[in-house]
């Protein structure tokens, strides 16, 4: 089974890295539910199945299914869902759920967002993505890499970079390095903000980063319909520099500013 360019397939071929990813999944027992996204030829799946006999796998490529079954054997304990992950209902794997996978570069960020929005049904994410994307996700405040994806992911839990994976570990060989990162979902994530306000909060953050070279107060004034001095005043009350730029705030800062400017 050859890789399909339109699916963004880069198959992991290095067993040592596959084993490290499988071992990194923070599930504590064989009965915990684990979902692998995009197993492809099953390089990672064989190690996951050793730890999690009731593994669920979602794979869009129908040509990969027979190869997967051949690799995993006929134990019958695992379940393969031949579906597009962006249309797949994660509840079919059962909640709460640990999610893991080597994500296609072209839709990796979309898969991450979809997965995290299933919280509190999600316990952890362990994903391999393009190195640049992983470094953005784990970036902290006062960094040029800190952006919307950083704040989105870190709202749900602490994001940490686990290790890098070189191009030679894949077929076909990509032009960039990859990295494995992990998010363990905060136990108090539901108390941070009402679920009904999540979309508006993330829209607020997205607005704030839409002109990241400009001062945050000025950008929000343009995007949210209030004058700049209103936002400057709120930032001062937070003990922040009113001239700061969006990358200077962490998740708690964004939440504080949102709640101050959108009273419940």
Check which CATH number belongs to the domain holding 251 and give it. Answer: 1.10.8.100
* Residue 157 belongs to domain spanning: 5-190
Do both 181 and 92 map to the same domain? Answer: yes
Contact 118, 85 (CB under 8 A): no
- pLDDT of 1 reads 52
- pLDDT of 4 reads 47
Do both 160 and 74 map to the same domain? Answer: yes
Contact 81, 58 (CB under 8 A): yes
Q: Which of 238, 237, 248 is nearest to 215 (CA)?
A: 248
pLDDT digits (tens, 9 = 90+) for 83-102: 999 999 999 999 999 999 99
Residue 149 CA to residue 205 CA, distance in Å, equals 10
* Number of domains within the chain: 2
Percent of the chain, pLDDT > 90?
80
* Position 2 pLDDT exceeds 70: no
Copy the structure tokens of residue 81: 């869902």
What's the whole-number mean pLDDT along residues 198-222?
96
Q: Which of 92, 113, 88 is nearest to 37 (CA)?
A: 88
pTM given for the model: 0.93
Do both 182 and 111 map to the same domain? Answer: yes
pLDDT digits (tens, 9 = 90+) for 8-67: 557 789 999 999 999 999 998 777 899 999 998 899 999 999 999 889 999 998 888 888
What's the whole-number mean pLDDT along residues 226-246?
97
Cβ atoms within 10 Å of 204's Cβ, excluding its own: 19
Cis peptide before 120 (omega within 30 of 0): yes
Final residue of a structural domain among 190, 213, 245: 190
- pLDDT of 164 reads 97
Contact 1, 9 (CB under 8 A): no
Final residue of a structural domain among 152, 173, 190: 190
| Mean of the per-residue pLDDT values of the chain | 93
CA angle 253, 209, 136 (to 5 degrees): 80
Do both 78 and 137 map to the same domain? Answer: yes
- Lowest pLDDT segment from 50-54, 125-129, 234-238: 50-54
Do both 221 and 106 map to the same domain? Answer: no
Do both 29 and 89 map to the same domain? Answer: yes
pLDDT digits (tens, 9 = 90+) for 240-261: 999 999 999 999 999 999 999 9
Do both 124 and 245 map to the same domain? Answer: no
Do both 139 and 226 map to the same domain? Answer: no
Final residue of a structural domain among 129, 162, 190: 190
- pLDDT of 12 reads 86
* Position 143 pLDDT exceeds 70: yes
Do both 21 and 62 map to the same domain? Answer: yes
Q: Which of 48, 64, 60 is nearest to 15 (CA)?
A: 48
What's the whole-number mean pLDDT along residues 96-116?
95
Task: Classify burial at 171, counting beta carbons within 10 Å of its beta carbon; exposed 0-12, middle 13-18, buried 19 or more.
Answer: middle
Residue 67 CA to residue 82 CA, distance in Å, equals 13
Residue 77: which pLDDT band, with cuts at 50, 70 and 90?
A: confident
Do both 237 and 141 map to the same domain? Answer: no
Residue 205: which pLDDT band, with cuts at 50, 70 and 90?
A: very high
């Amino acid at each position: 089974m050859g890789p399909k360019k339109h699916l963004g397939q880069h198959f992991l071929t290095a067993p040592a890295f596959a084993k490290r990813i499988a071992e990194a999944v923070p599930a504590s027992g064989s009965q915990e539910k684990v979902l692998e996204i995009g197993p492809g030829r099953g390089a990672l799946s064989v190690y996951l199945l050793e730890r999690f006999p009731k593994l669920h796998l979602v794979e869009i490529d129908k040509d990969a299914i027979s190869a997967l079954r051949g690799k995993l054997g006929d134990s019958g304990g695992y379940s393969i869902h031949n579906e597009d992950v962006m249309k797949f209902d994660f509840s079919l794997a059962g909640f709460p759920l640990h999610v893991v996978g080597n994500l296609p570069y072209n839709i990796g960020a979309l898969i991450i967002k979809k997965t995290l929005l299933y919280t509190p049904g999600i316990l952890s994410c362990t994903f391999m993505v393009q190195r640049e994307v992983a470094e953005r996700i784990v970036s902290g405040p006062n960094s040029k890499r800190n952006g919307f994806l950083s704040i989105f992911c870190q709202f749900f839990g602490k994001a940490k970079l686990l290790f890098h994976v070189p191009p030679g570990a894949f077929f076909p060989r990509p032009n960039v390095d990859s990295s494995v990162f992990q998010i363990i979902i905060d136990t108090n994530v539901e108390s941070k903000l009402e679920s009904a306000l999540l979309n508006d909060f993330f829209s607020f953050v997205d607005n704030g980063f839409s002109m990241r070279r400009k001062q945050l107060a000025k950008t929000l004034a343009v995007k949210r319909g209030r004058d700049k001095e209103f936002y400057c005043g709120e930032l001062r009350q937070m003990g922040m520099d009113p001239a700061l730029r969006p990358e200077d705030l962490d998740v708690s800062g964004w939440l504080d500013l949102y709640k101050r400017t959108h009273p419940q």
